[in-house]
Structures are given as C-alpha cells and as structure tokens.
Amino acid sequence: MKGRPPPKNDAPRGRKPAAPGKSTGGKPAGSKAGFGKAADGKPSGGARSFSKPSGAPGRARGGAKAATARKGEGGKPAFKAPFKSGAKPAGKPAAKAAVAKVAIVPSTPAKPSVAKGVSLDVRQYRVQPDDDGIRLDRWFQRHLPDVGFNIVSRWSRTGQLRIDGARAAPGDRVAEGQMIRVPPAEAKATAAERPKRARVIDLTEDEIAFVQEMVIHRDAQAIVINKPPGLSTQGGTRTDEHVDKLLDGLMFDSESRPKLVHRLDKDTSGALLIARTSRAAAHFAKAFSSRTARKVYWALVIGVPSISDGMIELPLAKQPGTGGEKMHVDEEEGLPARTRYRIIERAGNRACWVELQPYTGRTHQLRVHLAAIGHPIVGDGKYGGKDSFLTGSISRKMHLHARRIRVDHPDGGRVDVMAEPPTHFAASLADMGFDLSLGDMLLDDEIDRTPTREDEKKFARQHAKQVRKDRKGERRSRGGSRDE
C-alpha cells in the first residue's frame, strides 16, 4: 500500500513481488527473462531497491510517486530501456530541453549583409600610367576613397596588402604595370549609398573667361597659357590673385584639376606649362629636373654686352636679411647657375634686345645674372636699381618675357609653343625699331650641322695645305741629317 515499505515474502531481497501475469522487470508476461537486470545483476532502469524498511514519510511518498510514474495510461507500464549513446535520456526537465534546442548552431553560416558595390573577394588592380610613381596610400585615395588610411595600414601590417606578390607599405611607390592585391572589402552594418561628390568651382564667370583667354595650347595632357605680367603663379603673403587659384577654370572636359609644373615671377610674362593629369605632371617635372626641357626668354637690357653670344656662370644664393625674397651671387655657398645669352639687335649703346636660355632653374636667375654683368633688365628696379629704367616712351614695367617652351610630350612628340609678348614689351620693341621677325633664333640642337658643298671644299683645301707643310718639314729634316 502507499506510504508503507514492501511486505516481506519469499522474493529476493530488494525485489518487489511479481504481479499476477507480469514479470519481475515490470514488463508483461512473455517478455525476455532478465530484461530488468543489467549484466552485473544490479537492478535496472527506474527500479529502486530498499535494504530495510524506513518509516520516513517523505521517502515513502517518493517511492510511491516513482512507482506511479512507471505506469502509463490503462495501467500499462511506462518503463523504458536504459538510453544508449546518442539518445537523449528520459526524464530530463522540459526547460533544459528547450534551452538545448535554442543553442543549436546551423551547419551553414548565414551570409552577412553586403553593401551595394562591395566585394567579399580578393581584388587585383593593375597600376595605370597615370599613377606611375605615386605612393600606395595616394593610390587608395584616388581609386578606393572609401578605404581609409588606418585600414590600409592594418592590411599592410597583417601582410594582406601586396604588390606583385610582395608585402607592401602605405609609403611604397607604385610603378606602371604592377599588380596590387587588395583584401576583401569589409562589410558595413549600414551601407547607405553616398552620392558622388561633385567638385565645386569657386570662380566667377569673369574669372573663368579670363583664365581661358590665356590658353594658347591645349591637348589631352598639357595646357600652355600666356601669363600676363603682374599675375603671380602661386599664392603667398598678401597675394590673393594667382594662377593656381584659377586652375579650376581650366578643367574643361576633364574630371581632374590641372597641376602647375613650373613657375614664372609675378612681373615676368609668357609661356607657362600646366599638366592636365598626374602622369603628365610627373613626366614634365622629370623633364625640368633633368634639363631636357628648353625655355627661351626675351629681354630688353641696359647697355650692350661686349660678347654677342656668351655664357654666364655665377653661383647664386639667398641674400641675407631679405627673408629669402632676394638672391645674390655667392661664390662660396651659392648653387651653380648657368645662363646663355645671345644679342638679337642693339639700339646703339643705349640698350639691346637679347635672347636668354637658362640651363639651370634658380630663383630670379636671369635677373641676377644680367645685373651681375652690368646689364640689368629694363624695368627691374629690384636688382638694377634706378639705372634699370629708360627715359622717353619706354615703359617702366619689367621687360622679361618667356617667349618659347619646348618639352617632350608624355604621349610622344613634343610640346613646342611660342607666346606673344605683352603690350608694353611689344611697344618698346617697336619704339626702338627692332624687327620682331629676328627674335626667334634656332636652338643649338635645331641648327643643321650637315656640311655643305662649300664646307667640304674649304675642308679639302685646309687638309691639302696641312699635308704640304708636313712634307716640306720632312724634306728639311732629311737635308739637315745629310749635312751632319
């Protein structure tokens, strides 16, 4: 009965008496014998043995509950065989089973949400000619602006960023044709598509028209303007109007802003070369540094040099006490500077028109060199003082003009452009009676050195004369040896 220990009978100790028509294992008669026992003879499943009667009501109630739980509907036993490996044990709390069900991880991970246009694969990019020689971080700024410098640095530290298979750093320079390996893009949680930022041209219509009127040459890689006197090339202290500010007006159909390649002094007029692409800027800069670019200037100078075609070689340095605004000749600490000059025409001994070719690019080189030999440029009060001005109708503006520029083109051939002199310069030349057609002299490499028929005859006569002299000297030497 419930709440009492099992009665003593002939059954083995620790076993309940078998119910009529049922086996000792709690199974109906006819089942396999010994199913309720394990191999070692211990009771199996939920059967509990009692070694001695206990009067504790709690324990008795627990045993009764266990016996009741073993019965199913209709009085059928609810006993189950011991669980095997891989099967869940019966009697586990329902709450734990629910937790285990939630913790199951699917075998195929869910794909992350990828922003539009973002690739999760390794990307390969080939360096184009326009990017030759630039830093790797600058390359990312141009072509992958969404990838910040910190990400590029992290990719470099972890070895994911490579150039032609080798590890690369943000400061490395890339070369045309190299292959850049870029790791997969990092997917963002919220990837809102940003509209492309358009360049804002902060110029008035008059300023755009003004700078475009200066253009005397334009192609896909280069622009040449005829800079007027009084306009600076770049900005500085108390300088608000300059060519660099107006470059946005020279974009035309290009998406990139033009770039300055060299500069002219504020009061110097003439041809100024501007690159339209990064590749062209690097090409032109190399041409100027290697002295393959040729520049020709016109100038009116005071007096007439004694040598009509000469070379000025005087080292230049910044003059102390001028804040770097003025240069002077310094034989000890100056940098080498060379200027070739040729007299085109002369107006008596008062002034002359000269052609200048700078072989180096020092600041104010032409002005300092001409002042150093005693023939300052007309209107250059900074280096010539009061002696650099002419009386009469000659303008007091500086008479130095960049007449011609010649440089190799990035796509082959040459950029060879001439700029017309400004109004005051042309008026001074006319007042002095100079002929403008005489100003464009050939450069040394443009002069045809092929000997003419007259040159060949002259050379033959000189050679024959030398041969006769040698023979005559040989006969004299023979006669002197006989007398001895």
Annotated active-site positions, please? 265
Q: How far apart are CA 35 and CA 80, in angstroms?
A: 11
CA 156 to each of CA 120, 153, 204, 364: distance values in angstroms, whole numbers, following the listed order:
18, 5, 44, 45
Q: Please tell me whether residue 46 adopts helix, strand or coil conformation.
A: coil
The residues facing 416 across adjacent strands are 406
Please, how many CA atoms are within 13 Å of residue 260, restricted to the half-sphere of its CB?
Answer: 15
Q: How far apart are CA 37 and CA 27, in angstroms?
A: 12
DSSP 35: T
Q: What is the dihedral of CA 68, 72, 77, 80, to 10 degrees?
A: -100
Q: Please tell me whether residue 11 adopts helix, strand or coil conformation.
A: coil
Q: Which two tokens stand for residue 245?
A: 């500010």
Asked if 300 and 345 touch (Cβ cutoff 8 Å), the reply is no
Phi and psi for 372 in degrees, rounded to 5?
-70, -30
The owner of tokens 């490499």 is 445
Please, how many CA atoms are within 13 Å of residue 31, restricted to the half-sphere of its CB?
Answer: 13
Report the side by side order of strands in the sheet with 179-182. 123-126, 179-182, 162-163, 166-167
Helix axes 149-157, 136-143, angle to 10 degrees: 130
Q: Where are the alpha helices (DSSP H) in 81-168?
A: 94-102, 136-143, 149-157
